[in-house]
Amino acid sequence: MTQPELTVGIVVAVRGAVVDVAFPSGGLPAVNNVLVIEQSGLKPVVLEVQAQLDQATVRTIALQNTSGVKRGAQATQTGGPITVPVGEAVLGRLLDVTGTPGDKRQPLPDDVPRAPIHRAPPPLRAQGAASDLFRTGIKVIDLLTPLAKGGKAAMFGGAGVGKTVLVMELIHAMVAGYSGISVFSGVGERSREGHEMLLDMTTAGVLDRTVLVYGQMNEPPGARWRVPMTALAIAEHFRDVEHRNVLLLMDNVFRFVQAGSEVSGLLGRLPSRVGYQPTLATEVAQLQERIASVGDASVTAIEAVYVPADDFTDPAVVAIAGHVDSMVVLSRAMAADGMYPAVDPIASSSVLLDPDILGKTHVGVATDVRRTIEHYRELQDVISLLGMEELGSDDRRMVERARRLQRFLTQPFTVTKGFTGIEGRSVSLEDTIAGCRAILDGEADDWEESSLYMVGTLDEARAKEEAARNGQDAA
């Protein structure tokens, strides 16, 4: 079968990021195909076809700034979707949505393999089940919302409750024990955050096993909308061609939805619920369903998700939550109390929390911790109104243990050492389970609550308590 001849189009309208291109001689490009406008003295502008308006015109979204693009400019077809460089050559590099390096280093070699950013997800029969624990060294996550190798985990939280810090700490926590490839996708990131990430990766010595892909906040919505697809194409190459495990980190998936909403509005589509695009569920599914384990290699995704106005019923949040295995919900109330990481032990969940997968001991302790903290929350109104004295002895004991558990599940982070002055801690799952079990059994009933705050293991808390008592005795 002969390939159709690729005709050259003419720009007939430019409205911000929306560019209409006419093909008078026919041969319209397909949806998601790429057109390129070459400009003398300026960088080429990449357009992605979004709709065929009639027999001779297509509507496209620009992935770069359209300043300087004029009606009558020529738009050249490429014959396919955006392709980005993949493989060993991109390790240690910072790329944009089209795969162009943005780190002021040598350009990529001409013979580097390339892959399209649009691709169907692997068939269900080829996907593997995610049942192996991905240990992080963060107590509250490993105990209550364990992450799965080859699974999808999302950190949900409003503004300023610690999503990015938690993702950064997970990167640090996994540097030592994780030997695969890391792909970081910054969706709508601030340039400051991107610069900090690049410095941190360089300092930690893991940049040579990491690819950074950015669609920054100041870029057009098309770039922010497609940058997760670029990161996915790179991750899929390492998984399918090189059979290597990949850790895919995304910050922030809500901005992907937000960029899609902007694109939808620019294209003139009627908005749906809460002003979101009518294609919200489809767009989220197209992204999330490609994150999967195939054969002996897996893609493990850890995503930060902004929750607008702390409203967990927001359609974007609900759409994303339906695809993840582990939901790490960050609580503003806990952040206000200084309980960092501010992970809500009741609202957070994981499909891995099953006795057949993790064992009865782990699940039993996790259930008891949840039950104790939940009982404390039920009694908080009574405590606020009448005080602890009005509680029965059993309730008072449970409340005291719940408060100690909440403090034991806090933890100093390596990435916050510069602000807090406290060395970060990484705690094994066995130590976390043993510590929580001891608190539930009453071992710390006569300890000061502050002895359990911002420590690693229970032994460290015990040493802190003994030091405090010795200090009091000396006084």
Residues with active-site annotation: 163, 189-190
Q: DSSP for 214-267?
A: EEETTS-HHHHHHHHHHHHHHHHHHHHTS---EEEEEE-HHHHHHHHHHHHHHT
Chain centroid, CA 145 distance in Å = 15
First-to-last alpha carbon distance for the chain, in angstroms, is 92
Which helix (H) or strand (E) is 63 found in, with range?
Answer: none
Omega before 252 within 30 of 0, i.e. cis: yes
Distances (CA, A) of 214 to 46, 51, 55, 98, 259: 16, 26, 36, 10, 14
Of the candidates 82, 63, 84, 75, the one whose C-alpha atom is nearest the C-alpha of residue 28 is 75
Residue type, 20: D
**For residues 84 and 97, what is the distance between their CA atoms, to the nearest angstrom?**
8
Sheet holding 94-95, edge to edge: 94-95, 210-216, 181-189, 246-251, 299-306, 152-157, 326-329, 349-350
Angle among Cα 283, 171, 127 to the nearest 5 degrees reads: 45
Of the candidates 338, 397, 410, 403, the one whose C-alpha atom is nearest the C-alpha of residue 377 is 403
* Phi, psi values for residue 327, rounded to 5°: -110, 110
**For residues 301 and 131, what is the distance between their CA atoms, to the nearest angstrom?**
14
| CB burial readout 109-148, b (16+ within 10 A) else e | eeeeeebebbeebbeeeebbebebbbbbbbbbbbbbbbbb
**For residues 303 and 166, what is the distance between their CA atoms, to the nearest angstrom?**
10
Of the candidates 351, 272, 346, 263, the one whose C-alpha atom is nearest the C-alpha of residue 312 is 346
Q: Residue 306 forms beta bridges with which residues?
A: 157
- Structure-token pair, residue 112: 């580097």
* Phi, psi values for residue 249, rounded to 5°: -110, 130
